Structure 1
Amino acid sequence: MSFDGIFTRGMVNELNRTIVPGKITKIQQPYDNEIVLTIRANRKNHPLLLSAHPTYARIQVTDIPYVNPDVPTKFAMTLRKYLDGGVVTGISQVESDRQVHIHFRSRNELGDTQELLLIVELMGRHSNIMLVEKDGGKILDLIRHVSPEQNRYRLLMPGATYVAPPHEDRRDPLAAQADLSGLTRDLDRKTLQSTFQGLGADTASELVARLKDKPADQWDFIWSNFFAPITNDQPMPTIAETDQGKTIFTPFAYSLTTKPVAQAASLSALLDDYYRDKAQRDRVHGMASDLLRVVNNTLNKEKTKLGKQEKELAATEKADTYRVKGEVLTTYLHEVKRGMTEITLPNFYADNAPLKISLSNQLTPSRNAQKYFTRYQKLKNAVQFLNTQIKLAKEEIDYLENILSEIQLADPGDLGDIKTELTQQGYLREKKVRGRKKAKRTPLGKPEKFYASDGTQILVGKNNLQNDQLTLYKAAKTDHWLHVKNIPGSHVIVRSADPSDQTLTEAAEIAAYYSKARGSANVPVDTVEVKKIHKPNGAKPGFVIYEGQQTLYVTPKESDVLARRKKPETV
């Protein structure tokens, strides 16, 4: 489901209960299209996420951690200038449209009180976030500047006067007495969406299903009853599945067109559950585009080189044929005359079967024989070289595919470690720092912590540098190490000398989840004591060898893995 006008109303109600009144204590812009305002309300800090992402536009309180850039953006600096220390006095929605106004009261540089609006327009690729003076409507800044060439209806640039999006002549579905006049029994989804504001496709489809084949005199009751959870501020946040198998989120159960899968404690928690993986993957791909380009280009070159080497190796299988022809020619040299282009001689290696041999009419008989011996020796020498090169190429491909897997599984905060590793390995150029200033060294990220059911701590390295640090330096020799068998993935350490079978199984599920086999069933995971792990000299980061392992077979479930981030209360 999209974040439609109905869901927006539910979210506005929830935020008014949660963060109003509240004081802004921190303003950050971790990603291009997203702002996080930390608001102190009811003795608790609430990270309010405002997203103008073209696909995931939304407003919510989030518990998902984010990475703050070293250098703040111009928009973030503008927000800090005008809103830092200000108070959220209210949150409102424009009718039932996807427009949210967050009202602020703060003080300017002279200490005078000023009223400001942060306007969030949740309109797909036209989404935007803008800071506006409440009196006069002057735009102070926007997260996305839109030139007159892009939008002739209104100018969305700093200094311009704010003009609301074009008002379409559609009715408010959440009005106290919704106007249902003109609707007929052959009602369909598109008719509802063109008649009423803020109805997403899923909401309109559910309404049609509820109104279809019902007497017209019952429609008002059905309509008001359908929207009652929103109008009464009693939502039932639901993750559901459509008949087509698509997963959606709804503010309450759409019982006729979807099958409820799970419920959340709040609309914000619902969005965290729904977007946790989708939004993170999108953020990672956006931030890691340069890394992905370098790794993919190098990987393609290595695969092309490997193909050529394997082709050359296949050609060396003819080496013995050249040796046999050389020996047969040498044996019957007296029968070969200069100027011949071919000759058929008995092959004494194959019961004297006739063997046709091509000759050069420019060479003597002995030079023709020597030519075959030379070809044989050249191919024989190439076998050892090609086998060595093929082995190196396969190791390089495995390493690069492992890096790609790390990027796919990474959180935004893990990308710095991967970039450092690629720089150390020579895939990326190290940035030169002018003058005497030393390049700032980015500290290595910390492994992620999980807990087994009995409280045993489980540590997970999210990239090769973390894997090396965790396995080779931080883990005790008696700890237990886990890794998915023959598949790129994270190193997992169980901080126990004698873990229970259940703890090892739970750790194996975590190892499978943080691997390329995340979506697979019956994943093989090797486990062994850390003291049996060894790193060969000169091996690339993250590569180790081991023996004496036990293999467990598990199926990772995201809900179970993420639940292990919290230590069990009973322990």
Structure 2
Amino acid sequence: MPFDGLALAAISRELATLLSGGRVVQVYENEAREIVTVVRRGKKKYDLLWSAHPQWARVHLTTHEPGTNESLSFFCTMLRRYLVGGRVVRLTQPNFERVLRFEVATHDDVGRPVTCTLVGEFMGRHANIILLDENATIIDARKRYTRDVSRYREVLPGLPYLAPPVTKENILSLDEEAFIDLLMQLPVETPVAGALQEKIDGLSTVTAREVVFRAGLALDARLEQCGAYEFSRLWTAARSLFEAVARGDSTPTLLLAEDGTPLDFAPDDLSHIGAARRIASNMNQIVNRYHAYMREKAQFEALRRELRRALKTERKRVEKKIRILSEIAGAEGEAAEARRRGELILMNLHRITKGQTRVTVEDIEHGHNVEIPLKPHLSPAANAQAYFKAYGKLKEKVTRARAALHDLREQQTYLEETETDLEMAVTLRDLEEIREELAAQGLATKKTARTRTKEEPQPLVLCSTDGFRILVGKNHRQNDYVTFKIGRENDVWLHARGVPGAHVLIAADGREVSPAAIEEAAALAAYYSRGRNETRVPVDYTLRKYVKKPKGARPGFVIYTNEKTITVAPSGPGTPLQEK
């Protein structure tokens, strides 16, 4: 949901209660270039996040702890200079505009008391964060721009601050007649929700549709379908929603899908949207949770695209070398021909004289005559030696090419397995583990030491219907961890036969593993493999003690013996498996 004026009103009310009178103790920038002002009030410390992102502009308290940005922007240094040490005087929102004013009482360079104001304008691509002095003069801004960018105003240090233009009405300052007149200024074919959003300050598409729903109208109703009764219902529904948010009587709600994925949020319940779950909480917590998920989702998709590109580039390089070396490796016949020519020259030295450019001799072994090119400046014996030398070079070339092809085909298999791991990744952590593995081989950009993942891998942990713990590695690092760090010699190890996929382990814990548990684990091994879209997949299983990792083998590579094979339909987590 867009961060609308109603959501900001609920947040502003909560912030005023929590932060007024507190002291600004720090200002920093996170990796996303968002500003965080740290306010201490009493024994509690609050991190207030400000974002001018064109898509995710917002302000709210955050519990997320991203790494700080090592190279601070000039704007952040100015915020530190003017705000740190100051006391929060008030937080205000003009009407229901997407603007928050954060006033801080502090002292100037000569010790005089002054009030600085941090203004957050959360208006999509026009979003900005601006620092003002006590005379409403701009000290600095997150986004500076001139009239070349905006004909309405310039945002530059030293210029007077001009607030964004107000083009909509505050519903709390209207009576019912004025409200109806305002809507009727629009063409009669305008959807009611669109009319509300266009004329009333503070509404986004989703909250405008909620007003329409609460008024008892169809969500796609148009103005021409409304009479006095419908307009009165709209007035009552809209006014009551805004008044509830302004008083703090609303119920901020987060809507979740069945799998717990956040769908939407609003400062009051969105009764017109069906959702598997609804969570009521304070507005700051809801917005923080929603955007933490959206942030991780965006990071997940960006990192997956980056790794896909890296793997695709490397795979094309490897495939090109395989094609070239395959041609060289196929030159064994050419080498044999060079040797045979040298032998035939030696057998016919008495028939060849220096200066000849070619000679035709009988190849008794193959039963036909052979014409052999000669170098006229060489003696017959020297011509034979030249062919033997060419044979040696070609033979060595073929041998080297075949050895390189073996390594390249192993690399090709590894890249295919990693691509499968990439598609099986569920969390950002899964992708970061893959990136670290690729970075160690020079195939991806390394993370800095400050942000490198140091924790143990986190494989998927499930429980079979009869109580056996099942572990699933979703990448090479997790596979090695599951098989060789967690696995015990009498645990059951599984892997989809002949295709890249996960190492799956059934922890025996001193019991005999049941056929049902093996079948369920095999279904998981099939699902977390390249064969997941097949109807039936063969899966090998054996005891962990029969799984070995050759010395110097690449990550995730193992050999195993004493296996049995079961054919199953791929099945992911869920009934009858329950995630722990």
What is the alpha-carbon distance in structure 2 between the residues aligned to residue 238 and residue 99 of structure 1? 23
Q: TM-score, normalized by length of structure 1? A: 0.65
What is the alpha-carbon distance in structure 2 between the residues aligned to residue 524 and residue 89 of structure 1? 68
2:234 counterpart residue number: 222
2:48 counterpart residue number: 48
Alignment of 1:9-408 (within 5 A): 9-40=9-40, 44-108=44-108, 112-133=112-133, 135-165=134-164, 167-173=165-171, 175=173, 177=175, 178=179, 179-182=182-185, 186-188=189-191, 190-205=194-209, 207=212, 209=219, 212=222, 215-217=226-228, 218-226=230-238, 228-233=240-245, 234-239=250-255, 247-256=263-272, 258-266=273-281, 267-283=283-299, 292=306, 296=309, 300-310=313-323, 313=326, 385-396=400-411, 402=418, 405=422
Rate the CA distance shift 1:186–1:292 in 2: closer, same or farther, 3 A.
Answer: closer
Identify unmatched segments of 5+ residues in structure 2: 213-217, 349-355, 359-364, 377-384
What is the alpha-carbon distance in structure 2 between the residues aligned to residue 302 and residue 546 of structure 1? 24
1:408 offset after TM fit, Å?
8.2
The structure whose Rg is larger is 2
1:131 offset after TM fit, Å?
1.9
| Contact 1:481–1:528 (Cα < 8 Å) also in 2 | yes
The DSSP-based 3-state class of the residue aligned with 2:119 is: strand
The DSSP-based 3-state class of the residue aligned with 2:30 is: strand
What is the alpha-carbon distance in structure 1 between the residues aligned to residue 140 and residue 471 of structure 2? 43
1:30 offset after TM fit, Å?
0.8
1:232 offset after TM fit, Å?
0.7
Q: TM-score, normalized by length of structure 2? A: 0.64
| Contact 2:172–2:239 (Cα < 8 Å) also in 1 | yes
Residues 166-204 of structure 1: per-residue CA shift (max 9 Å, x gap): x14332345463454535653325544443334333444
Alignment of 1:486-497 (within 5 A): none
Rate the CA distance shift 1:160–1:545 in 2: closer, same or farther, 3 A.
Answer: farther
Rate the CA distance shift 1:172–1:379 in 2: closer, same or farther, 3 A.
Answer: farther
2:380 counterpart residue number: none
The DSSP-based 3-state class of the residue aligned with 1:31 is: coil
What is the alpha-carbon distance in structure 1 between the residues aligned to residue 129 and residue 526 of structure 2? 39
| Contact 2:132–2:138 (Cα < 8 Å) also in 1 | yes
Identify unmatched segments of 5+ residues in structure 1: 341-347, 364-369, 432-438, 565-571
| Contact 1:535–1:544 (Cα < 8 Å) also in 2 | yes
What is the alpha-carbon distance in structure 2 between the residues aligned to residue 376 and residue 117 of structure 1? 84
Shifted more, 203-212 versus 100-109: the winner is: 203-212
| Contact 1:9–1:96 (Cα < 8 Å) also in 2 | yes
Q: Which amino acid aligns with 1:307?
A: K
Q: Which amino acid aligns with 1:265?
A: A
The DSSP-based 3-state class of the residue aligned with 2:100 is: strand
1:210 offset after TM fit, Å?
7.2
| Contact 2:461–2:470 (Cα < 8 Å) also in 1 | yes
Q: Which amino acid aligns with 2:255?
A: I
What is the alpha-carbon distance in structure 2 between the residues aligned to residue 187 and residue 442 of structure 1? 51
| Contact 1:448–1:462 (Cα < 8 Å) also in 2 | no
2:456 counterpart residue number: 447
| Contact 2:60–2:284 (Cα < 8 Å) also in 1 | yes
Q: Provide the aligned length of Structure 1 versus Structure 2.
A: 531
Q: Which amino acid aligns with 1:137?
A: A
2:572 counterpart residue number: 555
Residues 480-505 of structure 1: per-residue CA shift (max 9 Å, x gap): 8999966588x999999669999999
**What RMSD over aligned residues (CA atoms) do the two structures have, in Å?**
6.3
What is the alpha-carbon distance in structure 2 between the residues aligned to residue 285 and residue 359 of structure 1? 63
| Contact 1:31–1:283 (Cα < 8 Å) also in 2 | no
User: % of aligned pairs identical?
Assistant: 23
What is the alpha-carbon distance in structure 1 between the residues aligned to residue 108 and residue 518 of structure 2? 58
| Contact 1:280–1:412 (Cα < 8 Å) also in 2 | no
Q: Which amino acid aligns with 1:445?
A: K
Rate the CA distance shift 1:446–1:319 in 2: closer, same or farther, 3 A.
Answer: closer
